[in-house]
């Protein structure tokens, strides 16, 4: 029983990590249609921001909390720079965007290697994030690790703020208008180029936030982005392009599937099962879990 | 282009972009598989070393980037220290050693490619390096075909004896078997095995299972995580619910960081369920964080705290060169020792020729930081003392148990009845 509970929580916390790394991508790829291969490197930038802040401030707790907004800004700024320098010239040319951002991704990896060195670095977790909450005692207690609870809370907070921004704020309304019909939005007086830039800022900033969360579970290194980018795209593609709800369902479904299979088999089998599951699912529903109905001519 | 046409075109192109994305992602995964065949055409006589009047080149082959860099960079540093010391003392056969360092990038085909380059293009007299067994297995054919020498400084899973490799790290009967002896002595009845998914952990666990069967120890579970994996919540849960007396950990590189964070989060400690690790030395303790590791056990042949004049000198020289806060570890010590052993072999042979150097190897001794080591000419391994250590809050490891003197290397475990049928 407690094993079942522990594994469910593990699955949910894997899902929370997946959701965090995919949330930004569901904006830039899902909403804007930009295939940004450098998204993983924005996550890396967020993680290194946490590291740098901890090195310069010292206090593990303070630096972690401070790095949340700072990582958002750093990664967001990098995103805006990328959008302004390269991507805006390449809208509607996805293949070129893909190759250019892939190049940017390699460039950023080498840059990180030059600045921080090739070996991975670690962030010390603050006292209040080590240890766990014991919900059921006994021989096999059911415990929730503090760092996992923190990541879950962070993922949900990011999700709710993003959903609210998109749904009720004027900015969100403009973003949705541009996604649904760019030309009509432009005809209605929306500065689509500016909206694109802001969307990209938020999407990239969310990647930075994911980077902060990831420092709590693993090491920080120049290649951490490449390991994550595939998972991020999987979540967005399974979730369905253009909708947050799909990404949320996909992230938690994949997380729980991974945890369940891994418990009864092995890590490798779990990875294979998840990938086979995704392929089968996309055969049946190529548009993903939930799709956006628009009036644009398809 | 008229604006009315833009939307449908964007959609169409986006779909094509998706296909291209899938291709690129697949390509990223498949890329490391290329290039593994490097050097297969080089049959016939070995490569000749490029030795001048006053210099001799040696190759240093370590991962300076990627998941293994955390460990392998320190080995490269120790090798450079030994070379510097030897050069300051007059070199080898009157020649200065010129090191050529190559990055294996934690990628096994790259190791094969770079060793080919060091041997054939640079003409090195010997190569020092490799860490993972996978990288050693990848370069082994290159060294055998070119009849070149590799000095391998890391503990490994045994069951190998290449005529062109000298193994200065521990084989299984100098590290894993003594660790199991120690656990059995301490009354451990059940074990859980956790390892990275590649050659060393899988072979090591095969040996552990054979030992356990013969000694009445129950194996409650066995789990492998892909190299570089950082998701250990499930494995920690499995370990926790199995309730074994101890965990035998053969994880490598950064995975240890994630594993021990998860292990601590699951409420497990060295008191409730000790973990014996064979790939965590002082350098790794520092980067994982001593707070996650305090009280856990390791099995090695050398610790920074090992007593002896040779070690005091080694630690002082290393810290003077690389910084007061830099720890020294077993693989670094074995790497440092390997350069001195090569020097002694060359001087005994009076030549840099690989065949002469190999012939001179048997019985060569060196007063290493870990104590006296002797080359066993038959297996090309060295006699080493095993030491079980406990990790302290300061990140240093102190010896709690040691074998009675240096153990004769036995890579195929021929001297152990229970190990029959393993090789």
Q: Please report, rounded to a whole number, the percentage of residues in chain B having pLDDT higher than 70.
A: 89
Is some CB atom of chain A closer than 8 A to the CB atom of B26? no
Q: How confident is the model at residue B3 (pLDDT cuts 50, 70, 90)?
A: very low
At residue A283, the pLDDT reads 93
Is some CB atom of chain A closer than 8 A to the CB atom of B354? no
Q: Is the pLDDT of residue B32 over 50?
A: no
Is some CB atom of chain A closer than 8 A to the CB atom of B21? yes
At residue B25, the pLDDT reads 58
Q: Greater confidence, A116 or B381?
A: B381
Asked, for residue A19, whether it belongs to a domain, the answer is yes
At residue B41, the pLDDT reads 40
CA distance A175 to chain B (A): 16
At residue B33, the pLDDT reads 40
Q: Is the pLDDT of residue B21 over 70?
A: no
Is some CB atom of chain B closer than 8 A to the CB atom of A50? no
Q: Is the pLDDT of residue B123 over 60?
A: yes
State the CB neighbour count (10 A cutoff) for residue B87: 16
Asked, for residue A238, whether it belongs to a domain, the answer is no
pLDDT digits 0-9 by tens, A205-230: 999 999 999 998 888 888 888 878 88
Portion 187-216 of B in contact with A at CB < 8 A = 197
Q: Please report, rounded to a whole number, the percentage of residues in chain A having pLDDT higher than 70.
A: 96
At residue A18, the pLDDT reads 92
At residue B421, the pLDDT reads 77
Whether residues B6 and A182 touch (CB distance < 8 A) is answered with yes
pLDDT digits 0-9 by tens, B57-79: 999 999 988 777 778 989 999 99
Whether residues B25 and A102 touch (CB distance < 8 A) is answered with no
CA separation for the pair B346, A138 (Å, rounded): 63
Taking CA atoms, B380 is separated from A61, B347, B384, in Å, by: 51, 17, 13
Chain A residues closer than 8 Å to B261 by CB? 125, 147, 216-218
Going from the N-terminus, what domains does chain B have, and what CATH number goes with each?
A: 55-170+308-383 (3.40.50.2300), 173-301+387-419 (3.40.50.2300)
Instruction: Give the mean model confidence (pLDDT) for residues A260-268.
Output: 85
Residue in B11, B29, B291 closest to A298 by CB: B11
Helices (H) and strands (E) in chain A, counts: 11, 2
Q: How confident is the model at residue B253 (pLDDT cuts 50, 70, 90)?
A: confident
Whether residues A124 and B289 touch (CB distance < 8 A) is answered with yes
pLDDT digits 0-9 by tens, A30-72: 778 888 999 999 999 999 999 999 999 888 889 999 999 999 9
Instruction: Give the mean model confidence (pLDDT) for residues A256-280.
Output: 88
Lowest-confidence pick of A146-150, A199-203, A281-285, B14-18: B14-18
Lowest-confidence pick of A129-143, A155-169, B331-345: A129-143
At residue B206, the pLDDT reads 92
Residue in A118, A140, A182 closest to B64 by CB: A118
Q: Greater confidence, A140 or B149?
A: B149
Lowest-confidence pick of A16-30, A253-267, B38-52, B191-205: B38-52
Chain B residues closer than 8 Å to A139 by CB? 243
Q: What spatial distance separates the first Cα and last Cα of chain B, rounded to whole Å?
A: 70
At residue B27, the pLDDT reads 54
Strand bridging mode A142-145 / A132-136: antiparallel
Residue in B28, B70, B226 closest to A120 by CB: B70
Full residue range of the structural domain in which residue A118 is found: 15-222
* Encoded tokens for A267: 């890590």
At residue B37, the pLDDT reads 39
Asked if residue B130 lies in contact with residue B152, where contact means CB atoms within 8 angstroms, the answer is yes
Instruction: Give the mean model confidence (pLDDT) for residues A255-266.
Output: 87
Whether residues A94 and B16 touch (CB distance < 8 A) is answered with yes
Q: How confident is the model at residue B252 (pLDDT cuts 50, 70, 90)?
A: confident
Instruction: Give the mean model confidence (pLDDT) for residues A285-294.
Output: 77
Instruction: Give the mean model confidence (pLDDT) for residues B117-126.
Output: 94
State the CB neighbour count (10 A cutoff) for residue B150: 26
CA distance B387 to chain A (A): 28
Give the residue from B3, B7, B323 with the most A CB atoms within 10 Å of its CB, the best one to mutate: B7
Asked if residue A30 lies in contact with residue A247, where contact means CB atoms within 8 angstroms, the answer is yes
Q: How much is the mean pLDDT over chain A?
A: 88
Q: Is the pLDDT of residue B6 over 90?
A: no
How many Cα atoms occupy the beta-carbon half-sphere of B349 within 13 Å? 19
Secondary structure element (H or E) that encloses residue B102, with its range: strand B96-103
Asked, for residue A298, whether it belongs to a domain, the answer is no
CA separation for the pair B278, B208 (Å, rounded): 13
Query: What are residue B381's DSSP bridge partners?
Result: B167, B376
At residue A182, the pLDDT reads 84
At residue A159, the pLDDT reads 94
Query: Residue B90 — left, alpha, or beta (φ > 0 → left; ψ -120 to 50 → alpha)?
Result: left
Closest chain A residue by Cα to residue B222: A266
Q: How confident is the model at residue A91 (pLDDT cuts 50, 70, 90)?
A: confident
Is some CB atom of chain A closer than 8 A to the CB atom of B404? no
Residue in B7, B261, B265 closest to A182 by CB: B7
State the CB neighbour count (10 A cutoff) for residue A215: 26
Asked if residue B160 lies in contact with residue B380, where contact means CB atoms within 8 angstroms, the answer is no
At residue B286, the pLDDT reads 81
Instruction: Give the mean model confidence (pLDDT) for residues B294-320.
Output: 95
User: Nearest CA to B248 among B268, B220, B227?
Assistant: B220
Residue in A113, A230, A262 closest to B65 by CB: A113
| Structural domains in chain A (count) | 1
Q: Is the pLDDT of residue B416 over 80?
A: yes
Whether residues B288 and A122 touch (CB distance < 8 A) is answered with yes
Portion 218-237 of A in contact with B at CB < 8 A = 218-219, 221-223, 226-227, 229-230, 233, 237
Per-range mean pLDDT, top range of A22-26, B25-29, B190-194: B190-194
Asked, for residue A200, whether it belongs to a domain, the answer is yes
* Whether the complex's predicted ipTM surpasses the cut of 0.90: no
């Amino acid at each position: 029983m407690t094993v079942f509970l522990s594994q469910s929580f593990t699955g949910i916390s894997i899902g929370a990590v997946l959701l965090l790394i995919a949330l930004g991508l569901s904006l830039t790829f899902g909403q804007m249609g930009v295939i940004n291969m450098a998204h993983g490197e924005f996550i890396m930038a967020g993680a290194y921001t946490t590291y740098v802040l901890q090195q310069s401030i010292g206090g593990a707790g303070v630096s972690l909390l401070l790095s949340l907004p700072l990582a958002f800004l750093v990664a967001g700024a990098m995103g805006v720079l990328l959008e302004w320098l390269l991507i805006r010239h390449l809208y509607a040319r996805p293949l070129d965007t893909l190759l250019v951002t892939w190049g940017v991704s390699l460039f950023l990896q080498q840059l990180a290697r030059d600045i921080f060195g090739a070996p991975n670095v670690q962030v010390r977790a603050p006292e209040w994030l080590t240890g766990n909450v014991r919900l059921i005692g006994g021989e096999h207690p059911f415990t929730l690790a503090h760092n996992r609870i923190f990541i879950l809370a962070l993922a949900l907070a990011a999700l709710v703020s993003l959903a609210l921004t998109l749904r009720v704020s004027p900015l969100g309304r403009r973003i949705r208008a541009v996604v649904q019909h760019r030309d009509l939005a432009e005809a209605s007086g929306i500065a689509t180029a500016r909206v694109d830039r802001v969307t990209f800022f938020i999407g990239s900033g969310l990647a930075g936030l994911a980077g902060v969360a990831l420092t709590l579970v693993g090491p920080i290194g120049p290649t951490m982005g490449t390991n994550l980018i595939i998972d991020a795209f999987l979540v967005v593609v399974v979730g369905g392009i253009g909708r947050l709800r799909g990404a949320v369902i996909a992230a938690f479904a994949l997380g729980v599937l991974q945890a369940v299979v891994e418990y009864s088999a092995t890590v490798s089998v779990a990875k294979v099962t998840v990938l086979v599951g995704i392929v089968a699912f996309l055969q049946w529903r190529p548009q993903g879990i939930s799709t956006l109905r628009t009036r644009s001519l398809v | 282009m008229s604006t009315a046409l833009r939307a449908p075109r964007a959609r169409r192109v986006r779909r094509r972009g998706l296909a291209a994305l899938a291709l690129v992602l697949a390509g990223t995964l498949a890329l490391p598989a290329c290039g593994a065949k490097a050097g297969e055409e080089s049959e016939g006589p070995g490569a000749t070393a490029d030795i001048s009047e006053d210099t001799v080149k040696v190759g240093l082959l370590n991962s300076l980037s990627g998941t293994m860099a955390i460990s392998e960079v320190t080995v490269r540093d120790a090798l450079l220290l030994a070379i510097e010391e030897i050069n300051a003392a007059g070199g080898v056969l009157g020649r200065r050693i010129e090191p050529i360092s190559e990055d294996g990038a934690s990628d096994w085909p790259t190791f094969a490619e770079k060793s080919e380059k060091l041997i054939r293009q640079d003409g090195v007299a010997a190569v020092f390096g490799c860490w993972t067994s996978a990288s050693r297995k990848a370069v082994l054919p290159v060294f055998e075909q070119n009849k070149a020498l590799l000095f391998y400084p890391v503990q490994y899973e045994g069951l190998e004896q290449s005529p062109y490799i000298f193994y200065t790290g521990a084989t299984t009967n100098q590290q894993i078997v003594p660790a199991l002896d120690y656990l059995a002595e301490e009354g451990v009845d059940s074990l859980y095995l956790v390892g990275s998914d590649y050659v060393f952990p899988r072979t090591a666990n095969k040996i552990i299972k054979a030992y356990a069967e013969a000694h009445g120890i129950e194996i409650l579970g066995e789990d492998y995580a892909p190299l570089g994996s950082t998701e250990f919540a499930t494995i920690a849960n499995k370990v926790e619910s199995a309730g074994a007396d101890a965990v035998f950990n053969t994880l490598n590189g950064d995975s240890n960081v994630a594993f021990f964070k998860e292990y601590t989060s699951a409420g497990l400690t060295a008191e409730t369920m000790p973990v014996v690790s064979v790939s965590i030395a002082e350098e790794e303790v520092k980067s994982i964080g001593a707070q996650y590791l305090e009280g856990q056990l390791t099995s090695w042949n050398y610790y920074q705290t090992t007593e002896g004049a040779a070690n005091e000198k080694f630690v002082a020289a290393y810290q003077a060169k690389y910084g007061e806060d830099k720890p020294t570890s077993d693989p670094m010590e074995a790497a440092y020792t390997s350069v001195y052993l090569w020097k002694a072999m060359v001087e005994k042979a009076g030549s840099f020729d690989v065949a002469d150097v190999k012939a001179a190897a048997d019985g060569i001794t060196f007063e290493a930081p870990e104590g006296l080591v002797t080359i066993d000419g038959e297996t090309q391994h060295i006699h080493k003392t095993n030491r079980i250590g406990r990790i302290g809050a300061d990140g240093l490891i102190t010896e709690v148990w040691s074998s009675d003197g240096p153990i004769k290397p036995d890579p195929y475990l021929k001297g152990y009845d229970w190990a029959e049928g393993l090789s």
